Amino acid sequence: MYGNRVSTSERLIEATRELLWDRGYVGTSPKSIQQRADAGQGSMYHHFTGKPALALAAIRRTAAELRATAEATLGGDGSAYGRISAYLLRERDVLRGCPIGRLTMDPDIISDDTLRAPVDETVDWLRGRLSGVVEEGQRQGEFAAGLVPAEIASTVVATVQGGYVLARATGSPAAFDAGVRGLLALLAPDARHADSAARHA
């Protein structure tokens, strides 16, 4: 699974990331981590004090990856609407769900302040980053001045996370795609102008 050049600590972190995503904290046993990472027990405890420390390293890595992926679209070129659209439409493994979103539903993660911290920080960062893009769109006249950027940001996050849940419940990404299309239609500058014209007709 891993090349010879990948260090043992990296293999352990990556294995833990995958297992947390698929099985949750309780289902991620030290033995399963060692098997997936092709590492012995001694190697695992040489690099990490135990499962909680390894889980924290894995969650931090997942959080950093999510931020980098989101920033690649939200911080790119183009209009504010175009960047939000790119974020919503980017390729995802919809049926597998969001690796951070899944952690928010894991009681063992949420009940542990240390493990929960990078999850909370990432969600807060994402909402803040989206809010900033909406504010930029308002300054450029793309979005109505009356919109509350923080509320739109929360709506975007809720659409994505809710879309994952609906997709998994139905066994099809169609529900996720429908939610994204609906939100983009509501946010589209042309739709806003058409709605304003209709109200003043």
**CATH number of the domain to which 166 belongs:** 1.10.357.10
Whether 6 maps to a domain, the answer reads no
Per-residue pLDDT averaged across 102-116, rounded? 94
Residues 44-100: pLDDT tens digits? 888 899 999 999 999 999 999 999 999 999 999 999 999 999 999 999 999 999 999
pLDDT score of 120: 96
Whether 84 maps to a domain, the answer reads yes
Whether 40 maps to a domain, the answer reads no
Number of independent structural domains in the chain:
1
Closest by Cα among 57, 5, 54, 55 to 25: 55
Please tell me the distance from the alpha carbon of residue 73 to that of residue 81, in angstroms, as a whole number. 11
Whether 19 maps to a domain, the answer reads no
Share of the chain above pLDDT 90, in %: 84
What is the residue range of 67's domain? Answer: 60-199
Whether 145 maps to a domain, the answer reads yes
Share of the chain above pLDDT 70, in %: 91
Please tell me the distance from the alpha carbon of residue 148 to that of residue 152, in angstroms, as a whole number. 6
Decide if pLDDT at 201 tops 60: no
Decide if pLDDT at 195 tops 60: no
Cα distances (angstroms) measured from residue 178 to each of 118, 150, 167, 171, 183: 30, 23, 10, 14, 9
Confidence class of residue 189 from pLDDT cuts 50, 70 and 90? confident
Whether 69 maps to a domain, the answer reads yes
Please tell me the distance from the alpha carbon of residue 44 to that of residue 7, in angstroms, as a whole number. 12
Decide if pLDDT at 3 tops 70: no
Please tell me the distance from the alpha carbon of residue 133 to that of residue 129, in angstroms, as a whole number. 7
Whether 167 maps to a domain, the answer reads yes
And the tokens for 103?
Answer: 């952690």
And the tokens for 66?
Answer: 């999510």
Whether 137 maps to a domain, the answer reads yes
